[in-house]
Amino acid sequence: MKKITATLIAGLFATAAFANSPAPAPAAAPAAPAPAASTQAPQKAPQEVKAEAKQEVKQEAKQTTAASK
């Protein structure tokens, strides 16, 4: 029982120390943000993504069946 009490008290001290610590300094803002259009790749429609995934799965299935023969 003494170990549990000691652990709880130590936890309370740790919590109090963490709560009283100063907040970290905010990050500096970038000087000139880049245009959003040049930093992001164009988004594909969900149907295109599904079609590409199906093609990849079919190709992998063909390769595994050909390798096992």
Which residue do the tokens 């990849």 mark? Answer: 56
Alpha-carbon span 33 to 39, nearest angstrom? 10
Helix (H, G, I), strand (E, B) or coil at 43: coil
Summarised one tens digit per residue, pLDDT across range 38-65 is 555 666 666 777 777 777 878 777 777 7
Considering only residues 9 and 42, tell me which one the structure prediction assigns the higher pLDDT: 9
Instruction: Give the per-residue pLDDT at 55.
Output: 78
pTM given for the model? 0.32
Instruction: Say which amino acid occupies 60.
Output: E
